[in-house]
């Protein structure tokens, strides 16, 4: 029996994977991929203002964010949600935390990985996470790291769209039509009650990227119709048999 294809998302905070690549997760889950999400923090300090304004304690905020992330992951069809609970603002990984992530990467053996933009002056947790993603991907590929384990191949690392895109140096080279699973992404977003103001924002982003998908799939002379899409920037060269 052929092993299922897998993918891994490395998300700085509890909601990042929902806003930025929820469509990719749901679409690939429907295609039979087992998608694992590594959630490094709950975003309890820096991305939960609404909950703090309600007078909740730190433990209550974290519990809220965990529940939201779990509900959203369930809607999207996430195979496994791994919550590292490392704290945010700032997010920091010790060596043992990195090795835990390396172990997860090797266990998942992803066909591709997803994480944040490499530059984000508004949220250094995000670009720190991608630095960690690159470092742990490298370690997981090393034959001398825990010899005898199955080493990682060379999965593409796609960077999903940041907030305030124009400021981040993020340049998409891949657009994914998520129209068939848009209802799932929107439903997952609506589980993120700590950031209600982002529901419509990321709906508009998906509509804008759909226009780019249509334009780059043939435009007015035969482009594919698309209502909602996500954009990604690939880090590594891609090997193909045809363009």
**Cβ within 8 Å of residue 120, ≥6 positions away:** 126, 127, 162, 168
Domain assignment present for 130: yes
pLDDT confidence of residue 203? 98
Q: Kindly indicate the confidence band of residue 222, based on its pLDDT and cuts at 50, 70 and 90.
A: confident
Query: Can you tell me the mean pLDDT for 83-94?
Result: 98
pLDDT confidence of residue 144? 98
pLDDT confidence of residue 138? 98
Query: Can you tell me the mean pLDDT for 178-198?
Result: 95
Q: Kindly indicate the confidence band of residue 159, based on its pLDDT and cuts at 50, 70 and 90.
A: very high
Domain limits for position 87: 6-234
Distance CA 80, CA 49 (A): 27
Residue 153 neighbours by CB distance under 10 Å = 10
Q: Kindly indicate the confidence band of residue 223, based on its pLDDT and cuts at 50, 70 and 90.
A: confident
Please say if the pLDDT value at position 220 is more than 80: no
pLDDT confidence of residue 119? 97
Q: What is the mean pLDDT of the chain?
A: 95
Count structural domains, the chain.
Answer: 1
CATH number at residue 102: 3.40.50.10320
pLDDT confidence of residue 1? 66
Domain assignment present for 1: no
Domain assignment present for 43: yes
**Percentage with pLDDT > 70 across the chain:** 99
Contact predicate 187/75, CB 8 Å: yes
Domain assignment present for 239: no
Distance CA 225, CA 57 (A): 47
Domain assignment present for 15: yes
The structure's pTM equals: 0.96
pLDDT in tens, 89-119: 999 999 999 999 999 999 999 999 999 999 9
Please say if the pLDDT value at position 87 is more than 80: yes
Distance CA 157, CA 235 (A): 6
pLDDT in tens, 7-49: 999 999 999 999 999 999 999 999 999 999 999 999 999 999 9
Domain assignment present for 42: yes
Domain assignment present for 241: no
pLDDT confidence of residue 151? 98
Domain assignment present for 18: yes
């Amino acid at each position: 029996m052929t092993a299922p294809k897998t993918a891994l998302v490395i998300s700085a905070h509890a909601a990042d994977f929902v806003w930025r690549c929820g469509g990719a997760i749901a679409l690939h889950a429907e295609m039979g991929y087992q998608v694992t999400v590594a959630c490094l923090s709950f975003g309890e300090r820096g991305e939960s203002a609404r909950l703090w304004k309600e007078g909740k304690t730190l433990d209550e905020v974290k519990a809220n964010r965990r529940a939201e992330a779990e509900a959203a992951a369930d809607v999207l069809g996430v195979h496994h949600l791994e919550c590292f609970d490392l704290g945010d603002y700032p997010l920091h990984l010790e060596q043992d935390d990195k090795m835990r992530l390396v172990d997860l990467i090797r266990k998942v053996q992803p066909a591709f990985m997803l994480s944040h933009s490499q530059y984000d002056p508004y949220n250094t947790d995000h670009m720190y996470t991608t630095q960690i993603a690159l470092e742990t991907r490298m370690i997981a590929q090393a034959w001398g790291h825990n010899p005898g384990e199955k080493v990682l191949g060379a999965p593409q690392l796609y960077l999903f769209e940041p907030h305030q895109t124009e400021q981040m140096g993020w340049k998409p080279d891949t657009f994914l039509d998520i129209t068939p699973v848009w209802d799932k992404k929107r439903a997952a977003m609506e589980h993120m009650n700590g950031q209600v103001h982002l529901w419509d924002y990321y709906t508009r982003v998906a509509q804008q990227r759909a226009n780019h998908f249509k334009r780059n799939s043939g435009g007015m002379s035969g482009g594919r119709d698309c209502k909602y899409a996500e954009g990604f920037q690939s880090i590594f060269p891609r090997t193909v048999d045809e363009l």
